[in-house]
Amino acid sequence: MSRRLLYGMIGGGPGAFIGGVHRIAAALDNEAELVCGSFSSSFEKTAETAKQLYIAPERAYATYQEMIEKESLLPEGERMDFVAIVTPNHLHFEPAKLAMEQGFHVICDKPATFDTAQSVALSKIAKETGMEFALTHTYTGYPMVKQAVQMIKDGAFGKVRKVVVEYPQGWMSTDVENTDNKQAGWRSDPSKSGKAGAVGDIGTHAANLAETITGLSITEVAADVSRMVEGRKLDDDANVLIRFNNGAKGVLHCSQICAGEENDVNIRVWGEKGGLEWHQHEPNSMKVKWLDQPTQIYRTGKEYMSDLAAANTRTPWGHPEGYLEAFANLYNNFISVVRKRIDGATFSEIQSRDFPGIEDGIKGMKFIDAVIESGENNAAWRKI
Amino acid sequence: MSRRLLYGMIGGGPGAFIGGVHRIAAALDNEAELVCGSFSSSFEKTAETAKQLYIAPERAYATYQEMIEKESLLPEGERMDFVAIVTPNHLHFEPAKLAMEQGFHVICDKPATFDTAQSVALSKIAKETGMEFALTHTYTGYPMVKQAVQMIKDGAFGKVRKVVVEYPQGWMSTDVENTDNKQAGWRSDPSKSGKAGAVGDIGTHAANLAETITGLSITEVAADVSRMVEGRKLDDDANVLIRFNNGAKGVLHCSQICAGEENDVNIRVWGEKGGLEWHQHEPNSMKVKWLDQPTQIYRTGKEYMSDLAAANTRTPWGHPEGYLEAFANLYNNFISVVRKRIDGATFSEIQSRDFPGIEDGIKGMKFIDAVIESGENNAAWRKI
Amino acid sequence: MSRRLLYGMIGGGPGAFIGGVHRIAAALDNEAELVCGSFSSSFEKTAETAKQLYIAPERAYATYQEMIEKESLLPEGERMDFVAIVTPNHLHFEPAKLAMEQGFHVICDKPATFDTAQSVALSKIAKETGMEFALTHTYTGYPMVKQAVQMIKDGAFGKVRKVVVEYPQGWMSTDVENTDNKQAGWRSDPSKSGKAGAVGDIGTHAANLAETITGLSITEVAADVSRMVEGRKLDDDANVLIRFNNGAKGVLHCSQICAGEENDVNIRVWGEKGGLEWHQHEPNSMKVKWLDQPTQIYRTGKEYMSDLAAANTRTPWGHPEGYLEAFANLYNNFISVVRKRIDGATFSEIQSRDFPGIEDGIKGMKFIDAVIESGENNAAWRKI
Amino acid sequence: MSRRLLYGMIGGGPGAFIGGVHRIAAALDNEAELVCGSFSSSFEKTAETAKQLYIAPERAYATYQEMIEKESLLPEGERMDFVAIVTPNHLHFEPAKLAMEQGFHVICDKPATFDTAQSVALSKIAKETGMEFALTHTYTGYPMVKQAVQMIKDGAFGKVRKVVVEYPQGWMSTDVENTDNKQAGWRSDPSKSGKAGAVGDIGTHAANLAETITGLSITEVAADVSRMVEGRKLDDDANVLIRFNNGAKGVLHCSQICAGEENDVNIRVWGEKGGLEWHQHEPNSMKVKWLDQPTQIYRTGKEYMSDLAAANTRTPWGHPEGYLEAFANLYNNFISVVRKRIDGATFSEIQSRDFPGIEDGIKGMKFIDAVIESGENNAAWRKI
């Protein structure tokens, strides 16, 4: 098949943040084209967005149901090849379900669903339909994160002993949800965000990053979960003791009330022989530490980087890549798999997928369950 | 006009670096589509590249002349709206000339041309034809550079007194031009690169950055220009004293033999009341220094950033943007002007252009002349 | 009184680390002179050390008892004015007790004593004898820490909400206590170090730093305490959830098995309006963060620093001070109080003491108790 | 000889800066004791300073001549062993001359003298008298600078090709010499400072650092020297092209008008195979760069540091040392040589001296001559 893949988008209308990110990510490598969308619950807004995005008016759909139905009637090469779901958490499950049932692959924002049951159900649907499902845990798309994965997998540091993963934000230090801040609004509304605030929005990113990089699973958490801003309906801060399946221990903390912080999700891992440190704010560098040798600064694009990292890098060293490129890596890797699927490969014939999927989604939802429940029980341990 | 702009590319075939960067930059904001190209002197390679880029086979052209001629016969909306020129330096002038003469706007890699005479001629052609010409001095596309421009223009630091601008690279520390390194090959070949090596390739970036940020002109240079690697045909290192039209002084140095350095073009400017410091390797931060107050760290995307910077930023703070986004800003700003032109505005009706143009190109070529001539005269002063 | 103060030292013989630090700290400001010592349990080693330190042979004492007794018989101005205790933890209490009972002021390394009971007893002795007692929690001696104290006290950031304090070391990543490493030997020996390893050695520093800077008290801990190196007798890693008396929450973690880490005790504090971040590895800088303004970099020695910080700074900005100067600040502040005492002031007449004392010592010991007990109870909460 | 060395000080009275630094540096390692001084041209101030420093009143001398004469009459072990000269530049030569002629070793602040002729004369006197003369180019006392010296000497980076050395300060951005700033006063007064301002005060430090680290000599300079602040009598900014005796080239710039800068003298050196970067503001770290391997961060106190560096380090890694310790290294190394001399070694029997001497002083003065003369001739090249 020699053409760009075609996709449709659910969500991402005026005022949204992550929809635009998905669109840039999909466009970056010239491998996908947005051909239809149901961007908003208001058809007027959907039509307006479609126009801005140069989408044919007839493919601006009032509902995702209509979009999925009508697109499925178009011939291959004209109809969308996959769907991007970028709505708030409570609106992931239904469209993802319908899309897969109608034969469309899905790429979906995180956390996977509103609650764990939905994630499990979605996993079942994915298996039954054989469709591809990608979950956009952006931070694992960075080439330096790939490098970290590879080095730990290769045993560079010996057995992992300790992990500290942090996601400090400060943008909700005041009650912004009571202003016209749309992003804060749905994130602090239990009917849209689910049972968790910061823990769901960013804690899951941190957990996913820690598990992805170490190749381990968090098996147990003891979480001190807080609402620091008066009147807030969901947590805005959590300090969590974590334990891994290999005996490693650590700390995960995430917050929306660390005044003055931006979005510097970061991780430190230590093994028997050394460790690593990576910060999303300077994503092209990683400190690699050793017991007896000077700390090294690994840099994106350099010759010594692993094949996995190199495959997720576009520019030579010294040309900083960022968040959008990391996001585009998720799309790029997803698209390459979808392409193979369209070319005839079955689900099980795909050897590897370099993107998070529904199983990561379930893990994330169970992480939320465990942290919130631990928080409600004065930080008693909860197994995942 | 409600459609993506269409463009063709000259250069950027297999093994090229900057062509791919241009294509990503053009794609990022979904405002332009590559519809044709003459990517290589080998038609086979051009065809192969066209296929990879999902371009219709009939719009893969054997020569740029053919491309410009045939495209000009297509109706608007089908033919390309502008041309991107991404060839080595010696192949900028002729296609740019032809394109503009045939009514196509041009976006061209830097330095503008092979020599100064060509730049001046090109400027004349641009004026006569009324076509838009953008020069891709990437680094001025960074939002933080826009912020620096604005702050100095607003007088935040008082009169500028001193500028240190650096472009240290190390990739040509050995005689890589004698390996199969295509990038090093043409850059160190006087018949393709022109009279300058490092000075033309990266020194011009540094000069452009200094002049753009300060709003000043470099009026005089005294340059110690070297070929540090034996047998190299062009300069690979230059240390330059610079003087500005307001009496400010400074240093510009660029090098391809700073072993271990990547691509960290950086600048420091000091005025009477404070100064700033910006490094391309961490482009989303800028140190702002004051006589009596703590140094501040400005960050891309924050509320206090200027409108000019904000207009060149896609993501909220904490989501690092990089080289490709800076490049895309050049495209985005160029495209918005081309769009107005297509919609009927004349050249002189465009109020402002937020991208470098042919006048910057002439400045760059004259900078090369002055530095190289000074270098050949034991660093005697040369006026620009 | 116009003379240097005279002091004696207990501990600090060959192979010791902290004894030499105390001596440099005492010498730095030319306000104290070491005149006698009982440096080792071996008199031969004591004599050797005395000679190296230019101490009169007759004032090299075989035991601390002998030193205290004989020195007390000398006239003021000849006898020591205070005693520095730099022995391992289990040898703090007895000499401190005897010294104070014999009328000598005491400056003692941390943690205060072998166990909490000893600390409480020592506090009682200090009160009864009216002697001064300083505890060398070095890190609170840094001028930038003083600045942090002052800013938080002044309400610069509003109410403190979250604290993350870390003390990561890697030097005990292998079983160094089974080599000839004297430092590791006693630190991992319960009979010398007490019930805690990393928690006592460095966790107490972290807790002291957090409480000193915030002006708050840690009231509750839930601690995951580990022995990561097989066969080790005491903890080498602890991850601790902490709660403060004002409702703030946070994380404290300390470790001796973070392979590749040195000694970068660091702290981040966030309040309603902003926060701060300080790292001991770069002690002359502190990031000060704000909700709406750029992050600032405070620097030691600058005009905007508080009087408290300025009083603990020796050099102008740009002349980095370090660990020894921080330590010397403790000595300097202790000495200035001792000087007043010798000049006739009573304990209660001293208005303020800018150094940690026995009450900090008790807090530290109770912190150890709570963390270790929590650790033994699967991280159940323990009040302090 | 088993005693502390005794020394006297010339200069360093109330309001001075560097005198206090010398005293701390001398005290730090407990190897020297200040026993006499002529601190000020006002005897009242000298007496006051003597009292503050616990010096016997009879050894507070009205003039340095008196001090040198009277001290020379005292028996060894009571009289001073060496003299520290910490006066402004124009008051170095005479006391140094007299001291050496009277048999006293000298440690002197930089630049060595008021002009080159004095330096040459002093060198002759030193040779004739056989006295030791140390020049306190502080920055070469840092352990990391020693490490840099050793690595380049060992050929770690191959032949040195390029050097960039900077000394940016901002404290004289306004006409502070017209306020009561004593430091600015004499530094900008040609009758006290000599022919150079910034060039003499800090440019010489930069030149000394570059030559010390590379083991090369600067043979030629082309300097753009400015007085940026109106009415200033001496230069406050210089941008200098430099050439070395091995063919390496580079840039040296120093300034007192880089508003917002503190005192971050820094250097970058690149050879054929890699390079290094060191900043005085974070003196315990050094970046070591390689053509093909990740950049390394060398750290003071680590096992991989050279013997030379280790011999100049007091604390284990992670305990930052600073400016005062670097200064103390000069004293410590000077004192160890003086001690050998007192114990009977002749000048030529001393194998090596790990401190700058009068020959460095002459080099510094000739550097000043060349830079100032070049500056007066529109940056024409001048040989050193």
Residues of C in contact with A241 (CB under 8 A): 222, 224, 239, 241, 379
Residues of D in contact with C316 (CB under 8 A): 17, 263
DSSP A75: P
Residues D320-367 pLDDT 10s: 999 999 999 999 999 999 999 999 999 999 999 999 999 999 999 999
CB A98 within 8 A of CB A61: no
Residues of B in contact with A299 (CB under 8 A): 262
Residue A243 bridge partners (DSSP): A220, A249
Tokens of C246: 């004002």
Hey, are the CB atoms on B259 and D243 less than 8 Å from each other? Answer: no
Q: For the residues A198-214, what does the mean pLDDT come to?
A: 97
Residue with tokens 């016997």: D56
Q: Which of A134, A64, A52, A72 is nearest to A356 (CA)?
A: A134
Instruction: Give the phi and the psi of residue D65 in degrees, each rounded to 5.
Output: -60, -45
pLDDT at res. B2: 83
What is the percent of chain B with per-residue pLDDT over 70, rounded to a whole number? 100
- Does the pLDDT value for residue D1 go beyond 80? no
Tokens of D33: 């004791």
Hey, are the CB atoms on D241 and B260 less than 8 Å from each other? Answer: no
- Does the pLDDT value for residue B1 go beyond 80? no
Q: For the residues B228-249, what does the mean pLDDT come to?
A: 97
Q: Which of C62, C14, C18 is nearest to C37 (CA)?
A: C62
What Å distances lie between residue D109 and A367, D10, D14, CA to CA? 64, 11, 17
Q: For the residues B313-328, what does the mean pLDDT come to?
A: 97
- Does the pLDDT value for residue C15 go beyond 90? no
Hey, are the CB atoms on B157 and D270 less than 8 Å from each other? Answer: no
Q: For the residues A350-359, what does the mean pLDDT come to?
A: 95
- Does the pLDDT value for residue C1 go beyond 80? no
Strands B266-271 and B160-168: antiparallel
Partner-chain residue, chosen from D4, D319, D323, that has the shortest CB–CB distance to C323: D319
In this prediction, residue D182 has a pLDDT band, given cuts at 50, 70 and 90, of confident
Strands A32-38 and A5-10: parallel
Q: For the residues C95-106, what does the mean pLDDT come to?
A: 98
Residue A76's SS3 state is: coil
- Residue C291 CA to residue A172 CA, distance in Å, equals 10
Residues of B in contact with D291 (CB under 8 A): 170, 173-174, 259-260
Cis peptide leading into residue B111 (ω within 30°): yes
Residues of C in contact with D316 (CB under 8 A): 17, 263
Which of the other chains make 3 or more beta carbon contacts under 8 angstroms with chain C?
A, B, D
- Does the pLDDT value for residue A306 go beyond 90? yes
- Residue A190 CA to residue A204 CA, distance in Å, equals 16
In this prediction, residue C2 has a pLDDT band, given cuts at 50, 70 and 90, of confident
Domains of chain A: 5-139+326-356 (3.40.50.720), 142-316+364-383 (3.30.360.10)
Tokens of C363: 């807090």
Residues A141-150 pLDDT 10s: 999 999 999 9
Tokens of C207: 């807790």
Residues A159-187 pLDDT 10s: 999 999 999 999 999 999 999 888 888 88
Q: Which amino acid is at D120?
A: V
In this prediction, residue D313 has a pLDDT band, given cuts at 50, 70 and 90, of very high
Partner-chain residue, chosen from D292, D293, D303, that has the shortest CB–CB distance to A292: D303
Residue D275 bridge partners (DSSP): D270, D289
pLDDT, mean over chain D: 96
What Å distances lie between residue A271 and A155, A288, C28, C178, C258, CA to CA? 9, 11, 40, 20, 7
Q: How far is B299 from chain C (nearest CA, A)?
A: 7
- Does the pLDDT value for residue C163 go beyond 90? yes
Residues of C in contact with B277 (CB under 8 A): none
H/E stretch holding C340: helix C323-342
Q: For the residues A120-128, what does the mean pLDDT come to?
A: 97
Helical segments of chain D, H only: 18-28, 43-52, 64-72, 93-101, 116-129, 143-153, 182-187, 190-193, 198, 204-214, 307-310, 323-342, 358-376
What Å distances lie between residue D319 and A314, B180, C140, D92, D305, CA to CA? 41, 48, 14, 35, 15
Strands A249-255 and A160-168: parallel
- Residue C233 CA to residue C244 CA, distance in Å, equals 30
In this prediction, residue D16 has a pLDDT band, given cuts at 50, 70 and 90, of confident
Which of the other chains make 3 or more beta carbon contacts under 8 angstroms with chain D?
A, B, C
Partner-chain residue, chosen from B259, B289, B291, that has the shortest CB–CB distance to D272: B259
Helical segments of chain B, H only: 18-28, 43-52, 64-72, 93-101, 116-129, 143-153, 182-187, 190-193, 198, 204-214, 307-310, 323-342, 358-376
pLDDT at res. D126: 97
Residue B351 contacts C, CB cutoff 8 Å: no
What Å distances lie between residue C218 and A238, C383, D189, CA to CA? 17, 9, 56
pLDDT at res. C252: 98
Residue A164 bridge partners (DSSP): A251, A268
Nearest CA in chain D to B253: D251
Residues D29-46 pLDDT 10s: 999 999 999 999 999 999
pLDDT at res. A328: 98
- Residue B3 CA to residue A129 CA, distance in Å, equals 37
Hey, are the CB atoms on C24 and D29 less than 8 Å from each other? Answer: yes
Residues A30-57 pLDDT 10s: 999 999 999 999 999 999 999 999 999 9
pLDDT at res. A115: 95
What is the percent of chain D with per-residue pLDDT over 90, rounded to a whole number? 95
- Residue D208 CA to residue D224 CA, distance in Å, equals 19
Hey, are the CB atoms on A322 and B321 less than 8 Å from each other? Answer: yes
Q: How far is D322 from chain C (nearest CA, A)?
A: 5
Residue B304 contacts A, CB cutoff 8 Å: no
Hey, are the CB atoms on C259 and A250 less than 8 Å from each other? Answer: no
Cβ burial of D349 (10 Å; 0-12, 13-18, 19+) is exposed
Hey, are the CB atoms on D294 and A303 less than 8 Å from each other? Answer: no
Q: For the residues D138-154, what does the mean pLDDT come to?
A: 98
Number of helices (H), then strands (E), in chain C: 13, 14
Residue A20 contacts B, CB cutoff 8 Å: yes
- Residue C112 CA to residue C118 CA, distance in Å, equals 8
- Does the pLDDT value for residue A271 go beyond 80? yes
Tokens of B168: 């240290």
For residue D126, what are the contacts with CB-CB under 8 A and spacing of at least 6? Answer: D100, D132, D133, D357, D358
- Does the pLDDT value for residue A236 go beyond 90? yes
Q: Which amino acid is at C369?
A: D
Q: How many CA atoms lie within 13 A of C128 on its CB side?
A: 12
Residues B173-216 pLDDT 10s: 999 999 988 888 888 899 988 999 999 999 999 999 999 999 99
Among B176-180, B250-254, C154-158, D320-324, whose mean pLDDT is lowest?
B176-180
Hey, are the CB atoms on C290 and A259 less than 8 Å from each other? Answer: yes
CB D361 within 8 A of CB D135: yes
Residues D51-68 pLDDT 10s: 999 999 999 999 999 999
- Does the pLDDT value for residue C127 go beyond 80? yes
Nearest CA in chain B to A33: B30
Q: For the residues B264-270, what does the mean pLDDT come to?
A: 98
- Residue B225 CA to residue B236 CA, distance in Å, equals 8
Q: Which of B188, B197, B220 is nearest to B379 (CA)?
A: B220
Q: For the residues B276-287, what does the mean pLDDT come to?
A: 98
Partner-chain residue, chosen from C255, C274, C379, that has the shortest CB–CB distance to A162: C255
Write A91-95 long-range contacts (CB < 8 A, 24+). Answer: A91/A10, A91/A11, A91/A192, A92/A118, A93/A118, A93/A121, A93/A122, A94/A64, A95/A10, A95/A64, A95/A68
Q: At what angle do helices D323-342 and D143-153 cross, to 10 degrees?
A: 70
Hey, are the CB atoms on C294 and B296 less than 8 Å from each other? Answer: yes
